[in-house]
Every structure is written in C-alpha cells, then in structure tokens.
Amino acid sequence: MFVTSEPFTAGDIKGLVGADYQCRHRATKMFLPNGERYKAWISTSEVQAVDRLYHARGPYKLVNGLQVAASWDALVSGPLDNPIEVSELSETVSAPVFTGTLPDGTRAPDSSHCDDWTNYDGDNFAWFGATVAVDGDWTHAYESICGGHAGLYCFEQP
C-alpha cells in the first residue's frame, strides 16, 4: 500500500473509477508488483471502502516493507502498526487524504463526498484522513471543503 505522492482536487479524481485509475497508474509507473491490481481506499455516497476492497487475512504492508496492520481486522479496528505515509516513490508524505471513510471501512455519514469525488466546489464537504496518524484519524481525521488538495490511499488487491 501507499499514499499518492502528488495531491489532487476532488474534481480531478473523477469518482471511484478515476481514484482506482490513479492508484493503478502510479503503481505500474513505479513497477510495483501487481501494479494493475491497486484500488483506492475511498467511499462515495453509495459505495463503501469495506465493500470495495479485499479483506486480507495476512499483513498490509507499505511499499517499503513496513507493516501497517497484521490483517483486515487489525486494519479496521486499529491502531495501525505504522502510519500510511509512504508514497509509491518510497518517500514520506505528510498530507491530508481523500477518504470519505470511517475507520471500520464504512462511508462517513452526512457528507457529500465532494459529489462522489467529481466536484471541487467549496460548497461541498468531505472527510479526510491524515497520513501521520495511527489511530482512526488515518482515515477519518476531519471534515473540510472540497476545494483543497489531498492524496489517495492505494491498496494492492489479489
């Protein structure tokens, strides 16, 4: 797993398909194993990360080899073993991350999710995670307007 090295505006993500594309594109560009199998940890008003991503029994590791969680259950119950602050370039990134997702993988309620990650209008709001966090803030740190820039968490899928 990794956090994208460059931030986006919510409108630039272009929904779930665009978020997954960004993860796959960055992973394959860096020749990560199974680069075409990456998906974004992100929820919309209709789709939850918990339903989109594989629930691994084994460990979740950063591209530099550090373990984030021993399993899916450990990932969604926290705390994390290490923060998800390593990019596809194996560089440290301290930044907000678009998630729209609670620590258990379900969608954050009462949020527009930036019109499901297609709009960066300042009148819309979404939940962001913090790459430096190991508690639930890694995915659900604060709610903010959609006009800012943030990264994506990318998880390798089987």
What CATH number should be reported for the domain holding residue 126? 3.10.100.10
Least confidently predicted of 85-89, 109-113, 129-133, 142-146: 109-113
Number of domains in the chain: 1
18-75: pLDDT as tens digits: 999 999 999 999 999 999 999 999 999 999 999 999 999 999 999 999 999 999 999 9
Residue 140 is part of which domain span? 2-156
Instruction: Give 109-134 pLDDT, tens digit per residue.
Output: 877 889 999 987 777 889 999 999 99
Please compute the mean of the pLDDT values over residues 74-94 and round it to a whole number: 96
pLDDT at 146: 85
Q: What is d(CA 156, CA 21) in angstroms, rounded to the nearest whole number?
A: 13
Q: What is the pLDDT of residue 60?
A: 97
Q: With the C-alpha atoms ordered 32, 33, 37, 43, is the resulting torsion angle positive or negative?
A: negative
Under a CB-based contact definition with an 8 Å cutoff, are residues 147 and 121 in contact? yes
Determine the pLDDT at residue 138: 98
- At residue 72, φ and ψ (nearest 5 deg) are -60, -45
How far is the C-alpha of 87 from the C-alpha of 64, rounded, in Å? 9
pTM of the full predicted structure?
A: 0.95
Length of the chain: 158
What is the structure's pLDDT at 15?
93
Residue 115 neighbours by CB under 8 Å, 6+ apart: 10, 121, 124, 146
